[in-house]
């Protein structure tokens, strides 16, 4: 597929997708039959990061795999995330797997612990949060003390005169604060 007059693509990654932008650009140009807009947003579509190509929404991991395999993947060929992080679209994390096998892999698998999943969730939130967040220097040790003494996030936010999400982000940046905590 030939693209003429294509300008380099810039990406706005709105969902913390882990991706090689050069590869994604090549995949978009490979897929598209005409030049695409210079600015592309990566956004959540369902449970996975996606990009739009001429009104069509494509999941980033599937688009990349189609490009790497140089073919359009039929529905029954699914793309599995080896580390179970749906935002991680790096090549080494993805593999093509048939629908039936895929389901049983996830059913019997439980290859990863809940702890592992929690850490992935926290790391993803952290990447997303970093772009827009202002820095407030609330000492982690103080935060831990407040959390351990049962203070609510609202209480802590008021205490430091910041908003609720600032405290929540601070906790997300320091996953060890969650250990042994059930009310955050
Ligand atoms: Zn999978």
Q: How far is the CA of 116 from the centre of ligand 1 (A)?
A: 15
Q: Tokens 């990566």 identify what position?
A: 42
**pLDDT tens digits, residue range 125-134?**
877 755 443 4
Domain extents in the chain? 10-109, 133-178
Question: With contact defined as beta carbons under 8 Å apart, do 118 and 178 qualify?
Answer: yes
Q: How far is the CA of 98 from the centre of ligand 1 (A)?
A: 10
Region 10-109: CATH code: 3.90.75
DSSP-assigned letters across all residues of 80-96? EETTS-TTB--GGGEEE
Question: With contact defined as beta carbons under 8 Å apart, do 51 and 58 qualify?
Answer: yes
pTM of the predicted model, to two decimals? 0.64
Q: How far is the CA of 20 from the centre of ligand 1 (A)?
A: 20
Q: How far is the CA of 56 from the centre of ligand 1 (A)?
A: 23
User: Residue 27: how many CB atoms within 10 A of its CB?
Assistant: 23
Q: How far is the CA of 94 from the centre of ligand 1 (A)?
A: 9
Q: How far is the CA of 102 from the centre of ligand 1 (A)?
A: 6
**pLDDT tens digits, residue range 46-98?**
999 999 999 899 999 999 999 999 999 999 999 999 998 999 999 999 999 99
Q: How far is the CA of 111 from the centre of ligand 1 (A)?
A: 11
Rounded to whole angstroms, what are the CA distances from 1 to 26, 59, 85? Answer: 11, 20, 31
């Amino acid at each position: 597929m030939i693209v003429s007059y294509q300008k380099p693509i810039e990406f706005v990654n709105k969902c913390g997708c882990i991706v090689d932008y050069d590869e994604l650009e090549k995949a978009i140009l490979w897929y598209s039959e005409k030049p695409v807009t210079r600015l592309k947003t990566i956004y959540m579509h369902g449970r996975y990061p996606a990009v739009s190509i001429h009104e069509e929404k494509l999941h980033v991991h599937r688009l990349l795999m189609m490009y790497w395999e140089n073919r359009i993947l039929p529905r029954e060929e699914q793309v599995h995330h080896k580390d179970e992080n749906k935002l991680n679209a790096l090549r080494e994390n993805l593999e093509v797997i048939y629908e039936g096998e895929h389901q049983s892999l996830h059913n019997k698998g439980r290859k990863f612990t809940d702890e592992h999943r929690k850490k992935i969730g926290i790391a993803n939130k952290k990447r997303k949060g970093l772009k827009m967040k202002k820095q407030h220097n609330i000492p982690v040790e103080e935060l831990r003390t407040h959390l351990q003494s049962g203070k609510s996030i609202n209480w802590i936010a008021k205490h430091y005169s910041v908003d609720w999400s600032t405290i929540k982000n601070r906790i997300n940046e320091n996953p060890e604060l969650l250990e042994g905590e059930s009310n955050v």
